[in-house]
Chain A
Amino acid sequence: MLEGRLVKLRAREMADLQRNTRWINDREVTRFMAARYLMSSAAEEQWMRDRMVGPMSFAATPFAIETKDGEHIGNTSLFNVSPEDRKADFGIMIGEKAYWSKGYGSDATQTLLRFAFEEMNLHRVRLDTYAFNERAIAAYLKSGFAEEGRLRQARYSGGAYHDVVVMGALRDEWLARFG
């Protein structure tokens, strides 16, 4: 269990299936994510099972996000981890919308970044998000990511092309700021 201030990160469990399936089919949640289509509970179950057959490792860090009183509210992970470049991609979903804009996502992000830098010995963590996801961009900035560029009209959704915002957190900058 990784302890943040508002949340804890724990390994995902098959018992999370029903919530994960509900979140991944909630268009208010997925409009901010790469997932474009819907997902059956059977497909979600297979997807989860594939990720849980092995122990968490450098290459695969799928965490569940819990509040301090043990409610599962979302998931976060590092993926595309490069041992040579010592970098990874960061992803997060707060599926329980009642917990949006209250600092839970930022705290989960900071908790995972600290783990990435202090335990996995990464030197860089990056993410891509959509320009219309202003709530997330604000949270990422607060969590220590810096904007590094905008991929023009790189994402089509809701009937229009949108810019993709590219962000990165560097260990040297981040540890100096967050300790």
Chain B
Amino acid sequence: MIEGKLVNLRAPEMTDLERNTRWINDREVTRFLSLRYLMSSAAEENWLRERCSRPMSFADAFFAIETKDGQHIGNTSLFEVSPEDRKAEFGIMIGEKSYWSKGYGSDAAQTLLRFAFDEMNLHRVQLFTYEFNERAIAAYLKSGFVEEGRRRRAIFREGAYHDVVLMAALRDEWLPRFGSQNGGS
């Protein structure tokens, strides 16, 4: 368990299946994700089983997000991890919509960034999101990501092309601002 201020990050479990399937088929959730199509519970089960059947590792750091009282509200992960460039892609989904805009996503992001820098020894974590996902962009800025550019009209959703916003956090910038787990920087 990795402790944040509002949330804990834990390993995914097969008992997350029902919630994951519900979230991944909720268009209000997935309009902000790469996922464009729907997903059967069988397909989600295969996907989750594959994840849960191996230990978490440098190449595969996928976490469930829980509130402090143990409610599973979303998932977050680092993927496409490059050992040479010491960088990774960051992804997050808060599937329980009643937890949106209350700081849970930002806290999960900061908790995972700290793990990326303090434990995985990454030097850069990057993400992309869509320009219409203003809530997330604000949360990412608050969590220490910086905007680095916009891929113009790079995503087609809901009948129109939108810019893709590129953001990243660099260890040398992030740790002085947010500090290490032990309180040092």
Q: Which residues of A contact B (CB under 8 A)?
A: 36, 84-87, 123-124, 126, 146, 148-156, 161, 166, 168, 170
Cα A149 to Cα B150 in complex, Å, equals 6
Residues of chain B from 99 to 138 with CB closer than 8 A to chain A in the complex: 123-124, 126
Given A166-B151, A170-B152, A84–B124 Cβ distance below 8 Å? no
Pick the contact of B151: A86, A152, A161, A168 (CB < 8 A). Answer: A168
Pick the contact of A166: B123, B156, B166, B170 (CB < 8 A). Answer: B166
20 residue pairs of the A-B complex, CB under 8 angstroms, read: A84-B156, A85-B154, A123-B161, A124-B153, A126-B151, A146-B152, A149-B149, A149-B151, A150-B148, A151-B148, A151-B168, A152-B168, A152-B170, A154-B124, A155-B85, A156-B86, A161-B85, A161-B123, A166-B151, A168-B154
Q: Is the CB of A170 within 8 A of B168?
A: no
Q: Give the residue name and chain of the B residue nearest to A87 (CB).
A: B154
Q: Is the CB of A152 within 8 A of B148?
A: yes
> Could you say which residues of chain B place their CB within 8 Å of the CB of A36?
84
Cα A155 to Cα B85 in complex, Å, equals 5
Cα A84 to Cα B153 in complex, Å, equals 12
The reply to whether the CB of B155 lies closer than 8 angstroms to some CB of chain A is yes
Residues of B in contact, count (CB < 8 Å): 22
B82 to chain A minimum Cβ distance, whole angstroms, is: 8
B74 to chain A minimum Cβ distance, whole angstroms, is: 25
* 8 A-B pairs closest in CB distance: A149-B149, A156-B85, A85-B156, A149-B148, A148-B149, A166-B149, A149-B166, A156-B84
Q: Give the residue name and chain of the A residue nearest to B36 (CB).
A: A84
Q: Is the CB of A151 within 8 A of B149?
A: yes
**New A-B pairs, 5, CB < 8 Å, besides A148-B150, A150-B149:** A124-B154, A148-B151, A149-B151, A154-B87, A154-B168
Q: Give the residue name and chain of the A residue nearest to B163 (CB).
A: A148
Cα A85 to Cα B36 in complex, Å, equals 11
B84 to chain A minimum Cβ distance, whole angstroms, is: 6
Q: What 1/0 flags go to B60-83 for Cβ under 8 Å of A?
A: 000000000000000000000000
Q: Is the CB of B156 within 8 A of A86?
A: yes
Q: What 1/0 flags go to B35-77 for Cβ under 8 Å of A?
A: 0100000000000000000000000000000000000000000
> Could you say which residues of chain A place their CB within 8 Å of the CB of B151?
126, 148-149, 166, 168
> Could you say which residues of chain B place their CB within 8 Å of the CB of A149?
148-151, 166
> Could you say which residues of chain A place their CB within 8 Å of the CB of B155?
85
> Could you say which residues of chain B place their CB within 8 Å of the CB of A87?
154
A120 to chain B minimum Cβ distance, whole angstroms, is: 15
Q: Give the residue name and chain of the B residue nearest to A172 (CB).
A: B153
A87 to chain B minimum Cβ distance, whole angstroms, is: 6
Cα A123 to Cα B151 in complex, Å, equals 13
Q: Is the CB of A151 within 8 A of B126?
A: yes
Q: Is the CB of A154 within 8 A of B85?
A: yes
> Could you say which residues of chain B place their CB within 8 Å of the CB of A85?
154-156, 161
Q: Give the residue name and chain of the B residue nearest to A149 (CB).
A: B149
Q: Is the CB of A154 within 8 A of B126?
A: yes
Q: Is the CB of B170 within 8 A of A153?
A: yes
Cα A40 to Cα B56 in complex, Å, equals 32
Cα A150 to Cα B153 in complex, Å, equals 17
Q: Give the residue name and chain of the B residue nearest to A169 (CB).
A: B152
B160 to chain A minimum Cβ distance, whole angstroms, is: 11
Q: Give the residue name and chain of the A residue nearest to B146 (CB).
A: A152
